[in-house]
Amino acid sequence: MTNPQAFINPASGSIRLTGEVDFVDAEGKLIESVDAPKLCACGLSKDKPRCDGSHKEYIKLFAEQLRNARELVKPCMSFSPMAKKAHDIRENELAYRIEAGETLVGVKVGGALDSANSAEPTSVMIFGYLTDAMALTDSIKTANYIYPRAEAEVVFKISKEISTEIHPSEVLDYVSHVAAGFEIFDYRYGQAQIYANDAIADNAGSAAYVYSHWVAAHEANLENLTAQVFANEIEIETAPLTAIRGNPWLALVLLSKVLVENGVKLPAGSIVFSGSATKAIHLAAGNNYALDIKGLGRVELKAI
């Protein structure tokens, strides 16, 4: 094959090669020569390496794989989807939940490394949807999760729709109340390190959440507060809330940009989990956990 060229279809991920291509076996023996073959890049083809059109079921199949992982409490393999497909899988999950009777209540802010192919991967902001079915009261059954971890976060209650980018000077116009909250994330790939597209496909690991009573936003001086996390009344993590993007309010500003880029509008009344001030803690059955942000609120959670 002379001067080969490859075209990757941005929609399907299939690969089209130009010219005549030789297919050989493991020993280099020619099997056949094919002109301008179309190759599988999604891993679903039953006629590998050729593409057989199975990518048309890509979103459905991998969305089901992630749901099965949650229902069976058994990790699934990460599959490195293309960016567009990762977003579609996340939206498929939300549609499935809503069809099942759940109600969208807000989003969580998360972060993930952008690419395994970069010499110096950078962290990018991602988000996951939260529904009413994810809400906890005072306990969590850890056996229902693969590897549940809790993060200490600020929770915002949105006072008007976020449909455009928010300027830092406008942020209080969009928030009526704030609270302290534990966001429980549980990537369905288990403990494996994953990159942004897999994280997005898995709804940013959104699994459950719990938060304290609401405090009027104009009364909260978040920049001067500290989050303390306890396990069985022993402090195990502490961090200033400025560990959240330098200022928790900026999490909402940056999120607005990501939402606009994704064509998502967040209605008034929604909640937003800011991203963590502290390191994530693994929730182990039999322990009692608490988050205390003096001046904002306290959350207690029993792992059973």
On whether residue 42 sits in a domain, the answer given is: yes
| Residue 263 forms part of a structural domain | yes
Residues 131 and 248 in one domain: yes
- Per-position b or e across 60-81, b if 16+ CB within 10 A of its CB: eebbeebbebbeeeeebebbbb
Domain shared by 47 and 160, yes or no = no
Nearest to 261 by CA among 129, 140, 103, 126: 126
* Torsion angle in degrees (nearest 10) through CA of 252, 79, 74, 231: -30
**pLDDT, averaged across the chain:** 90
Tell me, yes or no, whether 206 lies in a domain.
yes
Is 189 within the bounds of a domain?
Answer: yes
pLDDT mean over 230-250: 96
At residue 11, the pLDDT reads 59
Domain that holds residue 93: 62-303
Distance between CA atoms of residues 265 and 174, nearest Å? 13
The whole-angstrom separation of Cα 156 and Cα 252 is 8
Contact partners, residue 146, CB within 8 Å, separation at least 6: 69, 70, 73, 74, 75, 186, 187, 188, 190
Check pLDDT > 80 for residue 13. no
Number of structural domains the chain divides into: 2
Question: Both 240 and 95 in a single domain?
Answer: yes
| Max avg pLDDT among 2-6, 113-117, 149-153 | 149-153
Q: Do 97 and 43 have their domain in common?
A: no
pLDDT at 68: 94
Residues 95 and 170 reside in one and the same domain = yes
Same domain for 69 and 35: no
Do residues 21 and 144 both lie within one domain? no
- Confidence (pLDDT) at 201: 95
Query: Given pLDDT bands bounded at 50, 70 and 90, which one contains residue 38?
Result: confident
Pair 24, 116 in one domain: no
The CB density around residue 281, as the number of other CB atoms within 10 Å, is 21
User: Of 34-38, 78-82, 144-148, 245-249, which gets the smallest average pLDDT?
Assistant: 34-38
Digit-coded pLDDT (tens) for 53-111: 766 778 888 899 999 999 999 999 888 888 888 999 999 999 999 999 999 999 999 99
Residue 1 lies in a domain: no
The residue written with tokens 């390190």 in the block is 193
Give the residue with greater pLDDT, 268 vs 44.
268
Burial of 143 (0-12, 13-18, 19+ CB in 10 A): exposed
Three-state SS at 239: strand
Within a domain: residue 132?
A: yes
pLDDT tops 60 at residue 1: no
| CATH assignment of the domain containing 177 | 3.90.850.10
- Answer whether residue 7 shows pLDDT above 80: no
Q: Which two tokens stand for residue 106?
A: 């807000």
Are 219 and 285 in a shared domain?
yes
Residue 8 pLDDT exceeds 90: no
Q: How confident is the model at residue 42 (pLDDT cuts 50, 70, 90)?
A: low
* 109 in the same domain as 12: no
Q: Is residue 127 part of a domain?
A: yes
Percent of the residues in the chain that have a pLDDT greater than 70, as a whole number: 94
List the one residue out of 167, 156, 180 whose CA is nearest residue 268: 156
Q: Is the distance from CB of 123 to CB of 110 less than 8 angstroms?
A: no
**Class of residue 119 by CB neighbours under 10 A (exposed 0-12, middle 13-18, buried 19+):** exposed
Q: Is residue 245 part of a domain?
A: yes
Asked whether the predicted pLDDT for residue 116 surpasses 70, the reply is no
Q: What is the mean pLDDT of residues 136-162?
A: 97
The answer on 34 and 108 residing in a single domain is no
In this structure, are 249 and 166 located in the same domain? yes
Mean pLDDT check: name the lowest of 4-18, 104-118, 176-190, 254-268.
Answer: 4-18
pLDDT of 167 above 60: yes
